[in-house]
């Protein structure tokens, strides 16, 4: 079906394009992603512009929601029906899963021609490869362990920016007394898991965090650090707003932009929302590391894979897109809107973007001290299957005040054990 329909589409498009543009290998490029918020959409438009400038037609396969969970479910259906898009936003160990099933194009020719080994930081190369071959193109470095501060609310409430959890709760009390939502949190499993993720990184530290959520080490998972992380999550519960069920992350960031909430724990894609709303960093908002994670870097790397093409035109359009992703222009413009760091460290950061500067410094420090931590809540430390088992335990605990941190710790260990079986 795909072949005939696709071939038919391609020939119609190609004949049109050949009439309109001289591009010898123009074709329609369907790209699956989940960037649908204001900031994300601006970033995605940079990708679209680059593909069109290379003479191809952009077909937007945007599936928003749940930080990619909805997109991945849709992609599985398309792939099983033999009709995957040409390119898809897939990241972390999930890349290996798709490669192992034989769906993905080998990108070694492009990686070699474009010197990817010189452009991609060494700790981030492996996850883009399967059995030593490049099968994904990385495009950015998001830092997850950020606490976003609404400076206007803090000033109004007479609150000080937190530097540890004691000062976090002092500020939360002041914000609450002044009528603000102290900690904006969207009621989606991945958002509660993102909060827990950063608390665990803070309480356990990078080394023990990785033993627990990357190695699934029994002792680390059953350690006091995990129990304390659940205790901290429970302490935060009364500072979040109750009618948040199903609220997506960008509508939650909007609560800070609209001066209704004081803080949000979220990756720096939230910065893209502040900037898209013309907020000034240092005036209406700022960013600090989640207390206790100042020297840690919970990384979330967005990347694209390319499903095996049907013909030379599709292959060429994939090559054009993959080459574009690591150009200085795309790296500069896309990441400025997205709130992430370029994957390339030779790209200058936007003038005056102190959050980006802090992020780059934190990455370099963590890289030098071997404390870079793949984010569990954003699918960098494990597959979506194990991740969803972890999400279930965290959300069961968060929404069930009767469950103790000790019970949650045991439940988490059992869930990971059974998900791996």
Q: Using CB under 6 A, list all residues that contact ligand GAL.
A: 34-35, 40, 67-68, 142, 249, 269, 300, 302, 378
In the complex, what is the shortest distance from the CB of residue 159 to ligand GAL, in angstroms, rounded to a whole number?
27
Beta bridge partners of 89: 304
In the complex, what is the shortest distance from the CB of residue 143 to ligand GAL, in angstroms, rounded to a whole number?
11
Nearest residue to ligand GAL, by Cβ distance, number only: 67
In the complex, what is the shortest distance from the CB of residue 259 to ligand GAL, in angstroms, rounded to a whole number?
23
In the complex, what is the shortest distance from the CB of residue 37 to ligand GAL, in angstroms, rounded to a whole number?
7
Query: H helices within 114-188, ranges in order?
Result: 116-119, 151-157, 165-177
Nearest CB to ligand GAL, comparing residues 17 and 380: 380
In the complex, what is the shortest distance from the CB of residue 101 to ligand GAL, in angstroms, rounded to a whole number?
22
Nearest CB to ligand GAL, comparing residues 268 and 320: 268
CA–CA dist 377, 390 (Å, integer): 9
Nearest CB to ligand GAL, comparing residues 142 and 174: 142
Which token pair is 176?
A: 């609450």
Q: Which residues contact 25 (CB under 8 A, 6 or more apart)?
A: 55, 312, 313, 316, 317
Nearest CB to ligand GAL, comparing residues 64 and 350: 64
Residue 303 in 3-state DSSP? Answer: strand
Residue 21 in 3-state DSSP? Answer: coil
Nearest CB to ligand GAL, comparing residues 50 and 68: 68
CA atoms within 13 A on the CB side of 255: 24
Question: What are the C-alpha distances in Å from 21 to residues 12, 47, 198, 257, 378?
Answer: 14, 20, 49, 43, 40
Contact criterion met (CB below 8 Å) for 93 and 374: no
Nearest CB to ligand GAL, comparing residues 33 and 54: 33
In the complex, what is the shortest distance from the CB of residue 11 to ligand GAL, in angstroms, rounded to a whole number?
35
């Amino acid at each position: 079906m795909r072949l005939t329909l696709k071939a038919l589409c391609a020939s119609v498009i190609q004949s049109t394009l050949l009439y309109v543009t001289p591009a010898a290998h123009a074709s329609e490029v369907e790209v699956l992603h989940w960037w649908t918020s204001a900031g994300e959409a601006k970033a995605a438009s940079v990708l679209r512009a680059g593909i069109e400038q290379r003479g191809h037609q952009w077909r937007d396969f945007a599936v928003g929601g749940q930080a990619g969970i909805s997109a991945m479910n849709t992609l599985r259906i398309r792939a099983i029906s033999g009709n995957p898009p040409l390119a898809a936003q897939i990241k972390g160990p999930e890349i290996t899963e798709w490669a192992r099933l034989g769906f993905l194009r080998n990108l070694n020719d492009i990686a070699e021609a474009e010197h990817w080994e010189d452009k991609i930081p060494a700790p981030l190369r492996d996850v883009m490869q399967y059995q030593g071959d490049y099968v994904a193109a990385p495009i950015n470095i998001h830092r997850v362990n950020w606490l976003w501060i609404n400076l206007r609310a803090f000033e109004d409430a007479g609150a000080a920016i937190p530097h540890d959890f004691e000062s976090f709760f002092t500020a939360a009390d002041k914000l609450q007394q002044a009528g603000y939502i102290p900690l904006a949190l969207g009621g989606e499993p991945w958002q509660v898991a993102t909060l827990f993720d950063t608390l665990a990184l803070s309480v356990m530290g990078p080394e023990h965090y990785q033993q627990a959520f990357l190695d699934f080490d029994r002792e680390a998972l059953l350690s006091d650090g995990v129990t304390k992380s659940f205790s901290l999550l429970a302490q935060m519960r009364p500072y979040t707003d109750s009618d948040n069920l199903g609220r997506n992350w960008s509508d939650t960031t909007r609560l800070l932009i609209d001066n209704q909430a004081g803080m949000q724990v979220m990756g720096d894609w939230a910065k893209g929302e502040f900037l898209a709303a013309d907020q000034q960093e240092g005036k209406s908002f700022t960013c600090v590391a989640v207390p206790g994670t100042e020297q840690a870097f919970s990384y979330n790397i967005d990347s694209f894979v390319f499903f095996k093409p049907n013909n030379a035109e599709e292959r060429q359009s994939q090559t054009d897109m993959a080459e574009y992703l690591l150009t200085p222009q795309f790296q500069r413009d896309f990441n400025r809107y997205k709130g992430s760091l370029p994957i390339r460290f030779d790209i200058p950061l936007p003038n005056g973007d102190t959050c980006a500067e802090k992020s780059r410094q934190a990455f370099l420090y963590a890289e030098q001290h071997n404390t870079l931590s793949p984010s569990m809540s954003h699918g960098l430390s494990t597959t979506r299957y194990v991740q969803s088992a972890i999400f279930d335990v965290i959300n069961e605990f968060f929404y069930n005040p009767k469950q103790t941190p000790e019970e949650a710790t045991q439940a988490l260990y059992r869930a990971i054990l059974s998900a791996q079986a």
